[in-house]
Amino acid sequence: MTRLVISFISIIFFFQLSYAEQIKVFEFTEKEFSELKVRKVRGADSKTVYTLGSNKNGNFLKAIADNAASGLGKEIKINLDKTPFLNITWKIEQDLAGIKENTKKGHDFAARVFAIKKTGATALSNRAINYVFSSNEDVGLNWPSPYTKKSIDNVLSTTKENLDQWVSVKANVKEDFKKFHNLDVNELDGLAIMSDTDNSKKKSVAYYQNIFFSKD
């Protein structure tokens, strides 16, 4: 009986440890969707249309941006010392080929995920890393946003290699904040999704799925 109890406790501890080592940010359920903060980009003609769906791998979010720009944000504390890796599964069905994404006129992405760290009293003082699914640039390239140097665009996927294909990617957010902002960040303050085409006046179709943090 004692061995059985010890084994049972060990199993419980294993599952608790596993859960702690993987933090899911978005569930893409109806309840969560109704609670997410929707923010329209200033100056955009309309909001991006976000809808829910599912496939064999679970729930997903579909984003259609037709000369539109708005994001979905979630305030969530992520311990980057324990779970520094951001994992994203996404797909671009219709991309934004031909634009210059590192300019104000072309600063649009069919899919992007912001990692946000509060560094002051207002949103304008926050630092961010903008993980993007580029329509034109190569994986590994990065540059400061043409609108603010406090946000860095970092290419994790590109439609030059994966158009209309599901792609799973990973980034070490803790290391990236040190690399791009020279900040030692122990805790992240939020994550946001955005598909936008307000600068290029084009149309994009994208999908997001399985966004979570892990220890490795």
Residue written as tokens 């926050």?
Answer: 126
**CATH topology classification for 23-214:** Jelly Rolls (2.60.120)
With a cut of 50, say whether residue 25 has pLDDT above it: yes
With a cut of 90, say whether residue 193 has pLDDT above it: yes
What proportion of the chain, given as a percentage, has pLDDT over 90? 82
How many Å apart are CA 159 and CA 171, to the nearest integer?
A: 18
Q: What is the 3-state secondary structure (H, E, C) of the chain?
A: CHHHHHHHHHHHHHHHHHHHCEEECCCCCHHHHHHCEEEECCCCCCCCEEEEEEECCEEEEEEEEECCEEEEEEEEEEECCCCCEEEEEEEEEECCCCCCCCCCCCCCEEEEEEEEECCCCCHHHCEEEEEEEECCCCCCCEEECCCCCCEEEEEEEECCCCCCCCEEEEEEHHHHHHHHHCCCCCEEEEEEEEEECCCCCCEEEEEEEEEEEECC
First to last CA, the chain: 36
With a cut of 80, say whether residue 1 has pLDDT above it: no
Q: Residue 196 to residues 58, 106, 108, 142, 168: CA-CA distances in angstroms?
A: 24, 10, 5, 18, 21
pTM summary value: 0.89
With a cut of 80, say whether residue 191 has pLDDT above it: yes
How many Å apart are CA 109 and CA 129, to the nearest integer?
A: 14
With a cut of 50, say whether residue 7 has pLDDT above it: no
Q: Which residue type sits at 49? A: V
- The token duo for 47 is 């909001």
Phi, psi of 96, deg, nearest 5: -120, 50
Confidence of residue 42 (pLDDT cuts 50, 70, 90): confident
- The token duo for 156 is 């994790």
Closest by CA position to 207, among listed 21, 52, 45, 9: 52
With a cut of 70, say whether residue 117 has pLDDT above it: yes
pLDDT at residue 109, rounded to an integer: 98
**What sign has the CA pseudo-torsion 20, 185, 29, 170?**
negative
Task: Classify burial at 88, counting beta carbons within 10 Å of its beta carbon; exposed 0-12, middle 13-18, buried 19 or more.
Answer: buried
